[in-house]
Amino acid sequence: MDLIVGLPDSQGYDSILVVPDQYTKMVHTMATSSTVTTEGVARLLRDNVWKLHGLPSKITSDRGPQFTSQVMRELNRMLGIKTALSMAYHPQMDGQTERINQEIEQYFHLFVNHRQDDWTEWLPIAEYTYNNKVQASTKVSPFFANYGYHPRMGFELHTQTKVEAVDDFVSRMKKVRGELESALKKA
């Protein structure tokens, strides 16, 4: 688990909490603030990760104050979650998260607008794309590893709509999906 910090303000957020599953490689990303508290991190985990997957047996993180506070240590102890903290100046202990962070940042370079203030709009798409990419270590996508099937994209619709906004949205999503697939092949 890690925070990507120092991002331009987007809808009041300047950071991303990145939570990967070391087994299936699935990742969850949440827009947050660089000043998020331990309680805020716990709420993000509860509302975005634990409700989908249950409690982890172990959390690996850097030594950020949100992850090392007495509140977090006690919460993890009470919930039966072991913690592993990467050593200062050696974040490669959690290399999986560092690689994920780099990949998410690559997606943003491709799609975030020139003002860089719309990254929160792209974060769910970056997460979705990452979770549908076959991982070298598992030979399947994180989505498939978790659920046993690949998600339906929904952009294969063969009907036309009379609502221009829907047409624009679907066209944009098709274009983004194609560009992301192309970028992933190059990565």
Note whether 39 and 71 are within 8 A (CB).
yes
What's the rounded Cα separation, in Å, for the pair 125 and 107? 9
Give the N- to C-terminal CA distance of the chain in Å, as an integer.
Answer: 22
CATH class of 2-151: alpha beta
Quickly state the pLDDT bin for 143 (edges 50, 70, 90): very high
Ramachandran angles phi, psi of 18, nearest 5°: -110, 120
Length of the chain: 187
Looking only at Cα atoms, what is the longest distance across the chain? 57
87-118: b (≥16 Cβ within 10 Å) or e: eeeebeebebbbebbebbeebbeebbeeeeeb
Q: How many Cβ atoms from other residues are within 10 Å of residue 50's Cβ?
A: 15
pLDDT at 133 over 80: yes
Average pLDDT over residues 163-178: 77
Give the pLDDT confidence of 2-42 residue by residue, as tens digits: 999 999 999 999 999 999 998 999 999 999 999 999 999 99
pLDDT at 167 over 70: yes
Sequence spans of domains, the chain: 2-151
Of the ranges 20-29, 34-43, 46-55, 89-98, which one carries the lowest mean pLDDT score? 89-98
pLDDT at 187 over 70: no
Quickly state the pLDDT bin for 64 (edges 50, 70, 90): confident
Give the pLDDT confidence of 102-123 residue by residue, as tens digits: 888 877 777 666 667 888 988 9
